[in-house]
Amino acid sequence: MKRILVILIAIICFNGCDKEMIIDWAPITFKIQVQDSQGNDMLDPANNNTWLIGTEISFRNYSEVIDENDISPVTKVVLPEYSGARIEKGSDCYFIAFGEFMRWDNDTELMTIKWPDGSISEVSYKCRLIESKLEAKETFKLNGLKCSNPIVIVK
pLDDT digits (tens, 9 = 90+) for 2-40: 666 556 565 555 555 555 656 666 777 788 899 888 888
pLDDT of residue 36: 87
pLDDT of residue 5: 55
Q: Residue 124: in which H helix or E strand, if any? A: strand 120-130
Within the chain, which residues score under 70 in pLDDT?
A: 1-25, 68-83, 102-106, 131-133
Concatenated DSSP letters for 58-91?
Answer: EETTEEEE--TT-EEE----SS-----EEEEE-S
Residue 146 is classified by DSSP as: E
**Burial bucket for residue 14 (CB in 10 Å: 0-12, 13-18, 19+):** exposed
Q: Per DSSP, what are the bridge partners of residue 130?
A: 135
d(CA 122, CA 46): 27
pLDDT of residue 6: 52
Largest CA distance in the chain: 83
